[in-house]
Amino acid sequence: MAFLDHNGESEFPMSKDKVFEAMRKAIPTINGLKIENADKLQGRFVVKAGVSLYSWGENIPIQLIEISENRTKVQITSSPKTGIMFGGAFDMGKNRKNVENILSSTSKILSSESETNSPEIKQTNIIHPSNSSTNNFQTIQNSNFMENNDTNSNVWYEKTWLVVILCIIFFPVGLYALWKNSSISKGWKIGVTAIISLIVLANLSSNDKTSTTSTETQKVIDTEQPNTVETETVANVEHDKADAEKESITEKLKAKAKRDWPDDYTTQEFWVNEQIGAYEYMLTIENNSIKEKAQKDWPLDFTTQKFWYNEQIEAQERMK
């Protein structure tokens, strides 16, 4: 049996059949629970709890034992469907509440049905520790105590789902509710508080580091800014100079094209574009003796410069 299984026993001063019928009416009224199987002859229920905020669901077998003609013992066990290894270790008190709600709802129905015909029904609860008895709990001892417990469960900090949400989105109020909640174990309270404290400290440390890094970065930027401005100024001057030189060469090429093909504008345009493309290509080549000779021999014929340069480079590679 897993250490988060919760067992509860209660004795009712009613016949087994009456308790069975009352329980069959009570269970469907509990949110999230449904009867999977009910065997009146054996006095046995198999109840399933669906997926909730706190678990992947629970299996809840219930056994009714007839002690005498008008005395029935109810034994309930609530276990996580997934076991401990797959999320069952984080039930946030869900298994305990399953048992508590079933006994409480059944007792209310029996009390209402017998109110006019019999004295007040009292429950005698017996705790039978299992292999992990520290997780078992003592259920409600009598109907008056159940009424007080129902009143307490209506307090906002007794709603475990609300406590979980507050711890996530607004931890100051969440921590207050966590420690006021009576259904969450002390171990969980200490663990959640420690985790939230570590997260807060980590965020504060991260903010300090970010602030320090920002200050240091700004200092570096302020130190390097003059050099950057100077570099940008030089680059702008070089760019303007290159643009002016290209514009001058373009005008010379256009003039030559008009002289060579005075009435053939398509040829003029084609030749000028080819020359400009070759000119831009020669700009990408690092200065060397072959490039210098090409520029010297054909100063305004960039397509020939490009062709001759590439031929020379390829021949140079072949001669190695």
Strands (E), 146-229: none
Contact 102, 62 (CB under 8 A): yes
Residue 178 CB neighbour total at 10 angstroms: 22
The pLDDT confidence band at residue 161, using thresholds 50, 70 and 90, is: confident
CB atoms within 10 A of CB 1: 11
Confidence (pLDDT) at 96: 87
How long a stretch of residues is the chain? 320
Amino acid at 142: N
Nearest to 79 by CA among 105, 99, 103, 60: 60
Identify the bridge partners of residue 47 per DSSP, sorted by sequence position. 35, 60
User: What are the pLDDT digits (tens) for 199-216?
Assistant: 888 888 777 677 677 667
Residue 21 banded pLDDT, cuts 50, 70, 90: very high
Q: What is d(CA 305, CA 298) in angstroms, rounded to the nearest whole number?
A: 6
Contact between residue 268 and residue 256 where contact means Cβ atoms under 8 Å apart = no
Torsion of CA 231, 235, 236, 242, to 10 degrees: 160
Biggest distance spanned by C-alpha atoms of the chain: 127
pLDDT recorded at residue 99: 92
> Which pLDDT band holds residue 104 (cuts at 50, 70, 90)?
very high
Residue 153: pLDDT over 70: no
Domains defined along the chain, listed by start: 6-153 (3.30.530.20), 246-318 (no CATH)
What pLDDT score does 136 carry? 40
Q: What share of the chain is helix, strand, coil (3-state, %, to 5)?
A: 60, 15, 25
